[in-house]
Amino acid sequence: MITGVLAGEAGTDSRSRGAALALIAKTFDYNIAVTSAMADAYVKVVQGDLAEVDTARRELADALLASDGDAPSALNRRAIGLGFDPEREYVVALAVIETHDQPGRATAAPRWAAQAIARATGAPERNAFVISREQNVLALLDASGKHDPRAVLERAAAAIGQSHKAAFRAGIGTKFRGLPGFAASYQQAHRALRYAGGRQRLIFWPADVLLFDELTTARAAHAEELIPPATRRVLGDATLRSTLEAFFAADLSIAAAARSLSLHPNSLRYRLRRIAEKTGRDPRRPADAIELIAAARLLPPAEAGDLATDSASPGTPHKPAMSARGSL
């Protein structure tokens, strides 16, 4: 509108038209500057508001976890204002992010991970109860609505993998209603998170946790001392250890395990023979497989390449196999 007015006032005189064009250009610059300033101010206000809400939610979560399940009634009104309706059914989800430069190790929970989960809920970021707590991202997910908690986390995992090339795994707690159930769901999510990433599953519910996994992960006192040095050395080889895990996860199926490892079945058989020769336990026998996988779960993850000769080519001379009845 102002452009037309300036052009009309300039008339037909060339000098006036030149002055009008210069003024129009300055008008455009002014409008751009004003718009940019308003946008910057809006972003600062919104970010400041989100930061305050995030802090308040973190403080509420800490208070609920410290209350041992008996949440003070005074927190109800505060929770509702932060997007936690005590009348709705929820689950607590815990997620960790692992970057490619530190595989297998969770990093401090980045803000963009929390934002990805918030967007995956389908709700505005301000309304989504998602916070960063040390190395975890904690999300309070609606368990009764149209957005299934596992589907929400799967969408977040896909977005994070695509945009940041980072690995994502999560544990989901039990369903609950009301503030007192928050701490129990959190503990169940923390337990499920321990297993996320294993058996090619990135997201675990408490019902996904197997008794065998729980017993071996508990690591009873002195249990590691029962594992003989030969088995420790084999499990120190990342290649053989991953082979054993894949074979066990495939229900001792050569074909299925070979597919999961992108190996020829004969290559897998060779590795299994190497494990049997060095430990005296044949992973193709169910009883021996259980003994070996229990040892693998009890020992902390080994660094690859500890025993380079264990994954040598089939041309490597073999030592005579120990008795299958030998000790673990």
Beta bridge partners of 28: none
pLDDT-based confidence at residue 196 (cuts at 50, 70, 90)? confident
How confident is the model over 19-37, as a mean pLDDT?
62
Which positions ≥6 away from 278 have C-beta within 8 Å?
Answer: 230, 233, 234, 310, 319
pLDDT at residue 314 is higher than 70? no
Residue 222 shares a structural domain with residue 292: yes
Q: Is 34 exposed, middle or buried (0-12, 13-18, 19+ CB in 10 A)?
A: exposed
324 assigned to some structural domain: no
The tokens for 262 are 């992108």
Residue that finishes a domain, picked among 32, 62, 92: 62
pLDDT at residue 239 is higher than 90? yes
Helix, strand or coil, per DSSP, at residue 48: helix
How confident is the model over 290-301, as a mean pLDDT?
83
Residue 179 shares a structural domain with residue 94: yes
pLDDT of residue 175: 93
pLDDT-based confidence at residue 307 (cuts at 50, 70, 90)? very low
| Identity of the amino acid at 29 | D
Which of the two residues, 100 and 45, has the higher pLDDT score?
Answer: 100
Residue 58 shares a structural domain with residue 177: no
Q: What angle do CA 109, 69, 149 make, to 5 degrees?
A: 50
Q: State the Cα torsion 318-324-326-328 to the nearest 10°.
A: 90
Residue that finishes a domain, picked among 160, 187, 216: 216
Determine which of 180-194, 257-271, 274-288, 292-306 has the lowest per-residue pLDDT on average.
292-306
* pLDDT tens-place string over residues 105-159: 555 677 889 999 999 998 888 889 999 887 889 999 999 877 899 999 999 999 9
Q: What is the DSSP string of 112-177?
A: HHHHHHHHHTTS-TTTS-EEEETTEEEEEEESSSSS-HHHHHHHHHHHHHHHH--EEEEEE---EE
pTM of the model: 0.58
* Cα–Cα distance measured from residue 3 to residue 22, given in angstroms and rounded to the nearest whole number: 11
How confident is the model over 292-313, as a mean pLDDT?
58
Residue 24 shares a structural domain with residue 97: no
183 assigned to some structural domain: yes
* Cα–Cα distance measured from residue 114 to residue 301, given in angstroms and rounded to the nearest whole number: 28
